[in-house]
Amino acid sequence: QVQLVESGGGLVQAGGSLRLSCVASERTFSSSFMGWFRQAPGKEREFVAAISWIAAGTFYADSVKGRFTISRDNAKNTVYLQMDSLTPEDTAVYYCARRADTGYKITSQQDYIYWGQGTQVTVSS
């Protein structure tokens, strides 16, 4: 069982920045494909960003491309989401997730089998 613990959420003004962190309790973290998803009030959870095992590949939703950066530190079992130029539309609960080893889709929630508890990000106008 893999446990994922997010942190770094909070309240920020539009145009500001936040960095989310997700620590994984996994000995084989370096071989895991990790993603960030978010769920805004009244909306379905959606893909935000993902990163491959050795950070050779990063993937972003169009809505965050150019503003958010996903990265990882395998020595710390941690994946990060740097969020810049935040807008009120970015307000949501952000979830860290680990894709199944047999998964191959990047944006599909069904391929991710471990999830964190979520961290709230609120952007005020």
**Is residue 29's pLDDT more than 90?**
no
Report the amino acid identity of residue 121.
Answer: V
Where do we find the tokens 């150019």? 66
DSSP characters over 60-119: E-TTTTTTEEEEEEGGGTEEEEEE-S--GGG-EEEEEEEE-TT---SS-GGGEEEE---E
Please give the pLDDT value at position 35. 97
Report the pLDDT averaged over residues 30-47. 94
Listed ranges 26-30, 89-93, 106-110; the one with the highest mean pLDDT: 89-93
Which of 11-20, 76-85, 100-109, 115-124 is predicted least confidently? 100-109
- Cα dihedral angle (86, 89, 90, 96), rounded to 10 degrees? -170
120 alpha carbon, distance to own chain's centre: 12
The percent of residues in the chain predicted with pLDDT above 70, rounded, is 99
